[in-house]
Structures are given as structure tokens and as C-alpha cells.
């Protein structure tokens, strides 16, 4: 049973980050807007965002799940929030400054805009001055706003779930089942939110808020419960351990299900491509299918040893783990790199050359991501680690897991 740092999850994060990059280049070059099957597959690359959300749910909820199952103390909220802030904000702020200086100079003196952007609150501005999801170069950051909202609310949600689980008594199995039942309700709230988005009138901005994404976070949170349940289960034939063994023996089946769900999501069932969600049934279908894809990709990586399957070995390879480590930068810089490349080459949007643009934009994004990881993310991580060591005598820190950096993974 994998515990602590799971290298294969770095590989999943890398897959998601690369998929988002390919998706954005495909849309900008119009390769994802043509009326053929390959284009439809490219146009659904945004499914990588739910994968990021599932990873966050798994890694960040795991210590809370363990505390709820065993009756221990959860992580200290203050330390947890400081660690999350140091993880995502320094590199994000750097990209915001660069993008605003390059393409939004008339608004550099707008204090309100700076506050919204720096505090990841831009998606809550219903009538912004920018077009789309954010200022030029920052459009993908809507998913980071969702991540930030999840970070803030996770201690509260975890406390409610733990209180519900404790009512089942001290039994491990009973508490685990209660946690999973609570997470099922949390996942269902996404579908209720989708209905609210359309009735009584359609409010598209609600699609970029956290409630719509709970189903994806719940996928990862459920995996966190199962992993900790299996870790503590004394009966080798107990339900959690049987499930983990089944996952280890069926990684290919999970990937096949994910591939089929992705193919269906690329069909007209989920609505017009890259034109927003165009109907309530298309929206509900997308939620279901994207959740299946996220579960299919993350589950065998989270519950199987890295060397237990070809998929796990691929994810745990040196290249994939490196891409996973710099994946946050890949996510942050891709639009800046894309627009810099288009400005340098004087290309117009939707003018083709998908392959050439992907190579150039991918290389520039990787360079910026690697530099940011080394000179911004790593120093911030060391700062967070030193702060945690100063409080190492506090019991709650002894139960924290070693999570790897989150994307977002947006994402």
C-alpha cells in the first residue's frame, strides 16, 4: 500500500499540465476547432483541470481523513494555510506582474484589479474590464481561483465530515463508510450547482466557482479515505484492501474506462466545443464524464505501487517526475509563452501551424517553468519547511503527509 510521497502522482500531474498546454495551443491555432474526430479530442484537453482537482483532493485531504478515521488531531489550520500560500502565491504573483506589464498596461494603476488578481478573486468579478476568464496571459488562472477556494474551505469541510464520521463510533470501517457517504453528498452538490447555474436564468460565471468542481475534488478525497482505510485495516481481506489489490491488478481497465469516457466527452453529448457549456444536460454530462476520466487516471497511480504496472512505471519515470515537479510553472506560464511567441512571429489567432507552435511554446514554457521552480518555488518550499520544523514538537505536525506540489492544476 503506497504511503507518503507517491512518485507516480508526479507523473499524473505532468500528464495534466502537458494536456492543458496542448489544449490551449490547439485552440489558439484552430487545430481544436475543426469538424473532425482528432480536433474534438484536442478540444477536450480541459479535462486535465478536473485531474488537477482530484490530485489536490487526494493529497491535501489525506491527513484529515487519517485523523477522522483514527480519532487523531487534524493538521493545524494556520500552518496548513501558510504552507499553501507559500506553495502557490509567489510564483503566481510573478506571472501576474509579467502578464499585466506586457499586455494590460492601461490598468497597472488600478488597485482593485491588482487586489483581485493577487488574492485570486478575479472570477468573482461578474462584469470585469477584461474579456473572457481573465486579463491577457492569465485566462487559465480561473482554475487556480477554484483551487484557492478549496484550500480555504478544506479544514471546515473536513471538520464537518469528521464530525459525521465520529457519530458512527470508534470502528474504522464504520467511520470510513461515513466519510465516503459524506463525500458522495459533496460530489452531488456539483450537480445541484449546475442546475442552479441555469435556473431561473443562465449565469455562466458560476461555472468558474468552486461548487461546480466539488465532484472532482471529492474523487480525490474518496481515494484519500480508501488509502488510509486500507493502510490501517487489520483484515487482509477487508473491503479497502481488496479494493486496493483490485486496482493494482486492473490499472489497464481504469485507463480504458478513462479513455472511453474521454471519447464520449469529445462527442456532441457534452455540447459545442470551446463555446462554453451550451445546455444543462450537456453540462451534467460533462461533469459525469470528466469525473470518470479523473478517477480513471488518478486511482491506479494513487493506490498501486509505481512499479506495479506499465502505467505506474511510466508515471514514475525520471522524465515524468521532472515534468511533475515543474508542472505548476508549466501551468502558470503557458499563456504568457503562447502570446509572446505569437507576438514575436506576428501570427494571428486561429491561423494554423499547430505542431510548430506546440514545440516552440512548449519549449519556452518548460524553460520558464524550470527557472521558476528553481528560483521561486523551491525557496518558498524551503521557507515553509523551516517554519514547520520550528513547530515540529506540535503533535498535529507529526501526522502530516508529504505531498508534492499542486498545479491544478487548471487548470
Q: What is the pLDDT of residue 278?
A: 65
Structural domain includes residue 199: yes
57 closest CA partner among 302, 232, 283: 302
Give the CA distances from residue 30 to residues 224, 279, 353, 383, in Å, rounded to whole numbers and listed in that order: 39, 23, 9, 43
Structural domain includes residue 96: yes
As given in the structure block, the three cell numbers for residue 251 are 490499472
Give the CA distances from residue 337 to residues 21, 138, 197, 272, in Å, rounded to whole numbers and listed in that order: 10, 11, 33, 27
Structural domain includes residue 410: no
> Which of the 8 DSSP states describes residue 404?
P
Length, in residues, of the chain: 411
Per-residue pLDDT tens, the chain, 411 aa: give them. Answer: 555 567 789 999 999 999 999 999 999 999 988 888 889 899 899 999 999 999 999 999 999 999 999 999 999 999 999 999 999 999 999 999 999 999 999 999 999 999 999 999 999 999 999 988 899 999 999 999 999 999 999 999 999 999 999 999 889 999 999 999 999 999 999 999 999 999 988 898 999 999 999 999 999 999 999 999 999 998 889 999 999 999 988 999 999 999 999 999 988 877 665 555 568 888 899 999 999 999 999 999 999 765 678 898 899 899 999 999 999 999 999 999 999 999 999 998 888 899 999 999 999 999 999 999 999 999 998 887 776 666 655 554 433 333 333 333 334
Tell me the helices (H) and strands (E) count for the chain, helix number first: 16, 0
What pTM was estimated for this model as a whole? 0.92
Q: What is the pLDDT of residue 274?
A: 54
Structural domain includes residue 67: yes
| C-alpha–C-alpha distance, residues 189 and 174, integer Å | 23
Q: Where are the alpha helices (DSSP H) in 251-375?
A: 251-265, 280-303, 310-315, 318-325, 327-345, 354-372
Q: Which domain holds residue 261?
A: 7-399
The torsion angles phi and psi of 203, rounded to 5 degrees, stand at: -125, 90
**In sequence order, what are the residues at sequence separation of 6 or more whose Cβ sits closer than 8 angstroms to the Cβ of residue 96?**
117, 118, 138, 141
Q: What is the pLDDT of residue 367?
A: 98
Structural domain includes residue 15: yes
Structural domain includes residue 411: no
- Count of structural domains, the chain: 1
> Which of the 8 DSSP states describes residue 105?
G
Structural domain includes residue 116: yes
Amino acid at each position: 500500500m503506497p504511503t507518503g510521497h507517491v512518485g507516480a502522482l508526479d507523473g499524473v500531474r505532468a500528464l495534466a499540465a502537458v494536456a492543458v498546454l496542448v489544449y490551449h495551443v490547439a485552440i489558439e491555432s484552430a487545430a481544436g476547432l475543426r469538424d473532425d474526430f482528432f480536433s474534438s479530442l484536442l478540444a477536450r484537453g480541459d479535462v486535465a483541470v478536473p485531474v488537477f482537482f482530484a490530485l489536490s483532493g487526494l493529497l491535501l485531504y489525506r491527513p484529515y481523513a487519517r485523523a477522522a478515521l483514527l480519532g487523531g488531531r487534524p493538521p493545524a489550520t494556520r500552518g496548513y494555510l501558510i504552507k499553501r500560500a507559500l506553495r502557490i502565491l509567489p510564483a503566481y504573483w510573478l506571472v501576474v506582474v509579467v502578464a499585466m506589464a506586457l499586455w494590460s498596461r492601461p490598468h497597472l494603476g488600478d488597485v482593485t484589479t491588482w487586489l483581485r488578481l493577487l488574492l485570486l478573486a478575479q472570477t468573482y468579478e461578474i462584469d470585469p474590464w477584461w474579456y473572457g476568464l481573465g486579463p491577457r496571459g492569465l485566462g487559465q488562472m480561473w482554475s487556480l481561483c477554484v483551487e484557492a477556494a478549496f484550500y480555504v474551505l478544506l479544514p471546515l469541510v473536513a471538520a464537518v465530515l469528521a464530525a459525521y464520521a465520529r457519530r458512527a463510533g470508534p470502528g474504522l470501517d464504520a467511520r470510513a463508510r461515513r466519510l465516503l457517504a459524506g463525500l458522495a453528498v459533496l460530489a452531488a452538490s456539483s450537480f445541484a450547482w449546475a442546475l442552479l447555474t441555469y435556473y431561473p436564468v443562465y449565469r455562466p460565471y458560476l461555472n468558474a466557482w468552486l461548487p461546480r468542481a466539488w465532484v472532482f475534488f471529492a474523487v480525490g478525497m474518496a481515494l484519500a479515505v480508501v488509502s488510509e482505510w486500507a493502510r490501517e485495516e487489520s483484515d487482509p481481506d477487508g473491503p479497502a484492501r481488496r479494493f486496493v489489490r483490485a486496482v493494482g491488478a486492473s490499472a489497464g481497465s481504469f485507463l480504458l474506462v478513462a479513455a472511453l469516457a474521454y471519447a464520449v466527452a469529445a462527442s456532441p453529448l457534452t455540447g459545442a466545443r470551446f463555446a462554453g457549456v451550451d445546455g444543462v444536460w450537456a453540462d451534467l454530462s460533462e461533469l459525469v464524464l470528466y469525473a470518470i476520466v479523473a478517477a480513471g487516471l488518478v486511482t491506479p497511480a494513487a493506490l498501486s505501487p509505481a512499479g506495479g504496472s506499465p502505467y505506474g512505471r511510466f508515471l514514475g519515470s525520471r522524465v515524468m517526475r521532472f515534468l511533475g515537479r515543474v508542472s505548476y510553472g508549466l501551468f502558470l506560464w503557458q499563456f504568457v509563452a503562447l502570446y509572446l511567441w505569437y507576438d514575436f512571429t506576428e501570427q494571428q489567432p486561429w491561423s494554423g501551424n499547430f505542431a510548430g507552435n506546440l514545440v516552440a511554446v512548449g519549449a519556452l514554457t518548460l524553460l520558464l517553468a524550470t527557472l521558476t521552480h528553481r528560483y521561486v518555488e523551491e525557496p518558498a518550499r524551503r521557507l515553509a519547511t523551516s517554519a514547520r520544523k520550528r513547530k515540529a514538537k506540535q503533535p498535529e505536525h507529526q501526522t502530516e503527509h508529504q505531498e508534492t506540489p499542486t498545479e491544478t492544476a487548471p487548470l
